[in-house]
Amino acid sequence: MRTDIVRSWEFTAIEHGYESRDAILYALAIGLGGDPLDPDELRFVTESRLQHPLPTFGTVLARPALDELFEAGEIDRVKVVQGEQRAVFDRPFPASGQVVGRAKVSGVWDKGPGRGALIRWDHELFDARSGERYCLSRSITFARGDGGCGGDNGLPPPPHSLPMMKPEVFYDHATLPQSALIYRQLGDRNPLHSDPQVASQAGFNRPILHGLCTYGIAGWAVIRTFLDGQAEDLAELDCRFSKPVFPGEMLRTEMWQDGNVVSFRVLVLGRDIVAIDNGRALIRN
Say which DSSP state 61 is in. Answer: S
Catalytic residue from among 22, 110, 146, 188: 188
Could you tell me the residue range of the domain that residue 193 belongs to?
3-283
- Establish how many alpha carbons lie within 13 A of residue 46's alpha carbon, considering only the half-sphere containing its beta carbon: 13
The residue among 60, 64, 63 whose CA lies nearest residue 30 is 60
Burial bucket for residue 152 (CB in 10 Å: 0-12, 13-18, 19+): middle
pLDDT reading at 235 higher than 90: yes
- How does pLDDT run across 28-61, given as a tens digit for each residue? 999 999 998 999 999 999 999 999 999 999 999 9
Query: The domain spanning residue 170 has which CATH number?
Result: 3.10.129.10
The residue among 27, 241, 231 whose CA lies nearest residue 135 is 231
What's the pLDDT score for residue 150? 87
pLDDT reading at 285 higher than 90: no
pLDDT band at 202 (very low <50, low <70, confident <90, very high): confident
User: Is position 193 annotated as part of the catalytic site?
Assistant: yes
Q: What does the alpha-carbon distance between residue 192 and residue 208 come to, in Å, rounded to a whole number?
A: 7
Give me the number of domains the chain comprises.
1
Catalytic residue from among 193, 210, 238, 277: 193
pLDDT band at 154 (very low <50, low <70, confident <90, very high): confident
The number of helices, as runs of H, and strands, as runs of E, in the chain is: 7, 10
Residues in the chain: 285
The residue among 65, 27, 62, 66 whose CA lies nearest residue 43 is 27
User: Is position 188 annotated as part of the catalytic site?
Assistant: yes
Question: Rounded to two decimals, what is the model's pTM?
Answer: 0.93
Contacts of 233 (CB under 8 A, 6+ apart): 223, 227, 283, 284
